[in-house]
């Protein structure tokens, strides 16, 4: 009986006749479940980034005046519009002059924000990346260049491309995935000193999530390579090298103290 892992005829995506054969994923199972799905998550990440940029660009900051909490009518915010709230605020604001000395004493707005020596009770400090954090970003970028080069190798070496002779679209999916992560890494490297602005999404979350997802599938591809379930030794080394670099990317990215935006500490 011939093994499904080596002689399976691949049907049209996304249905495989079998996904698992005895001790490993079938060829179709590896292609569809382990090698193609990260590219779809990368496309989802692109959509989320674009939506965030669109919402940030079209959202106008507006500060609505609120009524005094002590004199605000019940359900005022639900029943009145912004204009009405402003009018109520102006009317109720005049009542502050009628407060007694005792009421003013316990009014939180009258509480001093300084200590007895006149120093502020708290100060906010913006923390940017230090040298070690910058070094991690640079190392991550180098690893992404290596990963992108390995992903492009099937297009230049037929011996490597032989691994996907049953589904020659897989290398394109892999290249799209790592090409997107390379772009994210380039943006993060370009903003290595000051970080991303408040209008931009934190790209570290996207990168780390995609590293984690890819590493999970890459583990099973590594297992297939160790078991000898590949079409050539070059395909096996392809999976081994991608797993090794993906593991380093996961460790480096996971060791960041914070993401791509400066952190404010008080």
pLDDT in tens, 177-210: 999 999 999 998 888 777 676 677 888 899 999 9
For 147-158, b/e burial (b = at least 16 CB within 10 A) is bbebbbbbeeee
Supply the angle between the helices 131-152 and 233-254 in degrees, to the nearest 10: 160
Contact 186, 143 (CB under 8 A): no
Decide: helix, strand or coil at residue 223: helix
C-alpha atoms less than 13 angstroms from C-alpha of 70 in its C-beta half-sphere:
11
Task: Give the list of residues 6+ apart from residue 129 with CB closer than 8 angstroms, or none.
Answer: 137, 192, 193, 195
Q: How far, CA to CA in Å, does 4 sit from each of 9, 25, 189?
A: 9, 9, 45
Exposure of 132 by Cβ count < 10 A (0-12 exposed, 13-18 middle, 19+ buried)? exposed
Contact 154, 164 (CB under 8 A): yes
- What mean pLDDT is reported for the chain? 75
Q: How far, CA to CA in Å, does 88 sit from each of 12, 68, 80, 164, 262?
A: 66, 9, 9, 70, 39
Give residue 7's pLDDT: 43
Give residue 261's pLDDT: 64
Concatenating the DSSP letter of every residue in 73-141 gives PTTHHHHS-HHHHHHHHHHHHGGGGG--HHHHHT-GGGS-SB-TTS-BS---EEE---HHHHHHHHHHH
Token reading at 246: 């993906």
DSSP state of 61: P
Q: How far, CA to CA in Å, does 68 sit from each of 82, 86, 91, 92?
A: 15, 11, 10, 7
- Express each pLDDT in 72-100 by its tens digit: 444 444 444 434 444 444 444 445 556 66
Q: Which helix (H) or strand (E) holds 146?
A: helix 131-152
Give residue 53's pLDDT: 84
Note down pLDDT in tens along the chain; length 266 residues: 334 444 444 444 456 677 677 777 777 777 777 888 899 999 999 999 898 888 877 765 443 444 454 444 444 444 444 344 444 444 444 455 566 666 655 555 555 566 666 666 655 555 666 778 889 889 999 999 999 999 999 999 988 888 888 888 899 999 999 999 999 999 988 887 776 766 778 888 999 999 999 999 999 899 888 988 888 889 899 999 999 999 999 999 988 877 776 655 45
Give residue 184's pLDDT: 93
Contact 263, 126 (CB under 8 A): yes
């Amino acid at each position: 009986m011939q093994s499904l892992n080596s002689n399976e005829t691949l049907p049209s995506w996304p249905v495989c006749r079998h996904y698992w054969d005895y001790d490993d994923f079938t060829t179709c199972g590896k292609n569809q479940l382990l090698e193609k799905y990260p590219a779809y998550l990368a496309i989802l990440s692109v959509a989320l980034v674009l939506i965030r940029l669109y919402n940030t660009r079209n959202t106008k900051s507006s500060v609505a005046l609120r009524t005094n909490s002590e004199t605000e009518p019940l359900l005022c915010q639900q029943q009145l519009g912004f204009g009405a709230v402003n009018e109520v605020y102006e009317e109720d604001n005049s009542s502050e002059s009628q407060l007694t000395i005792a009421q003013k004493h316990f009014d939180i707005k009258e509480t001093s924000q300084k200590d007895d020596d006149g120093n502020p009770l708290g100060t906010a400090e913006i923390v940017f990346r230090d040298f070690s954090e910058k070094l991690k970003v640079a190392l991550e970028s180098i690893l992404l260049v290596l990963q992108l080069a390995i992903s492009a190798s099937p297009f230049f070496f037929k011996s490597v491309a032989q691994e996907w002779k049953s589904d020659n679209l897989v290398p394109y999916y892999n290249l799209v995935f790592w090409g997107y992560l390379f772009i994210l890494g380039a943006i993060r490297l370009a903003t290595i000193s000051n970080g991303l602005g408040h209008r931009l999404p934190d790209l570290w979350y996207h990168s780390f999530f995609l590293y984690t997802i890819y590493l999970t599938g890459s583990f099973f591809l590594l297992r297939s390579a160790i078991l000898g379930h590949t079409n050539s030794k070059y395909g096996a080394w392809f999976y081994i090298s991608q797993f090794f670099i993906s593991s380093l990317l996961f460790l480096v990215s996971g060791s960041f103290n914070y993401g791509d935006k400066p952190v404010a500490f008080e």
